[in-house]
Amino acid sequence: MKIMKAKLLVIMFLCIFTIMKQSRIETILETENPLLIVTNYTLKTYLSQYDKFFILIHSPWCKWSQNLESILLKINRHLKLEPQNSYIGIIDQTLENFNEHFKESINNGLLEFNYEFPTILYFEKGKRKETYKDRLEFDVVFHWIKR
């Protein structure tokens, strides 16, 4: 009887520990892994540092941008659980003087003057490869990023 109680206590402890660990992982992922804020100064660094870099160009007031940002935050959490070199950044196109702020990147062909909200750009090894043009749904965006 004592052995069964001891086994039951060990199982309960392991269950509680597993739940606490999962909760801690989710908390860390939500608070410590936001999308990278992209500026003209950090863009070159990110593009040279990461093999695959995705940039969300958005407007904070746009409901479609808000939805896609939420989707990308979830995807970013998944990416952080795996060894990989894909990262997601974000640019607020409504910044005052956006074109002036990103003038160097625009002149180098990395960015353009105007985008529809929201837009995801895909860069591979520092070069712009593709612009996302599919549905704004988690599964679709996730598979596009993971390919």
Per domain, the residue ranges of the chain are: 1-32, 35-146
CB contact at 8 A, 36 and 47: no
Please state the rounded mean pLDDT for residues 17-38: 59
Dihedral (C-alpha) 124, 128, 134, 136: value to the nearest 10 degrees?
A: 80
Neighbour order of strands in the sheet with 36-37: 36-37, 86-92, 52-58, 119-124, 127-131
In this prediction, residue 101 has a pLDDT band, given cuts at 50, 70 and 90, of confident
Please state the rounded mean pLDDT for residues 118-129: 92
pLDDT greater than 90 at residue 86: no
pLDDT greater than 50 at residue 23: no
Cα–Cα distance measured from residue 79 to residue 88, given in angstroms and rounded to the nearest whole number = 9
Least confident range of 16-30, 85-99, 103-117: 16-30
Looking at residue 8, its pLDDT comes to 66
What fold is seen in the domain 35-146? Glutaredoxin (3.40.30)
Query: In this structure, is the dihedral angle defined by the CA atoms of residues 93, 44, 85 and 129, taken in order, positive or negative?
Result: positive
Looking at residue 116, its pLDDT comes to 81
CB contact at 8 A, 145 and 86: yes
* pTM of model > 0.85: no
Please state the rounded mean pLDDT for residues 19-32: 49
- CA dist 115 to 8, 9, 77, 84, 89, Å? 59, 58, 26, 28, 16
